[in-house]
Chains A and B, each alone.
Chain A
Amino acid sequence: DIQMTQSPSSLSASVGDRVSITCRASQTINIYLNWYQQKPGEAPKLLIYAASSLQSGVPSRFSGTGSGTDFTLTISSLQPEDFATYYCHQSYTAPPTFGQGTKVEI
């Protein structure tokens, strides 16, 4: 199975900060990398698919980069509603696997 490793596991930031979360795959996954946001008690929400494509309706302050094994999710200016846990997910090969999550806290 492909292992997905996110860093950091948690971070503290302030409103307006630029925040980056990285995700590393244990083997190449081309651009089959997706990012989700999950708030407590809610279902995950797709933010970015295919490494850098912004899902419809997602604010443009979210962006994704990378290919191969190394990927980054960036929030250009953190907003109060962005405090949540973020997961990366590889859909390159079965079984699909998720990173362990990154909790973004105030």
Chain B
Amino acid sequence: EVQLLESGGGLVQRGGSLRLSCAASGFTFSTYAMSWVRQAPGKGLEWVSSISGGGGSTNYADSVKGRFTTSRDNAKKALYLHMSSLRVEDTAVYYCAKSGGAHGDYEYWGQGSRVTVSS
């Protein structure tokens, strides 16, 4: 059974930093691209970042480029999102998601980690 478990969320002041983790199990982690998708309170879904299975390729939304860094440790089956220079508008639930494969869908999602940036 595929499981994705996020951790590391919390309350942080504007300009601060936070690192989210996503622990994966139930599949061959290194084979799949992984993504972060966020959802601001009462709003829709917004893609944040993706990383290839080997970790050599990453992509970021313009809204977080230069401030967020996605990495992975395939030996630990873990995905990370390091967030810095946080803004109030980064307040959201952050989900890690496993790619389904060739079609780019998000086949499985974690339960989400809430990040609140205070002013």
Measuring CB to CB, which residues of chain A are less than 8 angstroms from any residue of chain B? Answer: 31-32, 34, 36, 38, 42-46, 49-50, 53, 55, 87, 89, 91-92, 94-101
Contacts and interface: CB of A to CB of B under 8 A. Distances in A.
A102 to B, nearest CB: 10
Contacts of B108: 46
Interface of B: 35, 37, 44-47, 50, 59, 61-62, 95, 100, 103-112
A43 B110 contact: yes
A89 B106 contact: yes
A-side interface mostly: loop
A95 B36 CA distance: 12
A101 B104 CA distance: 19
A11 B109 CA distance: 26
A98 B106 contact: no
Given A49-B100, A89-B45, A97-B47, A43 B105 contact: no
Given A94-B59, A95-B61, A46 B100 contact: yes
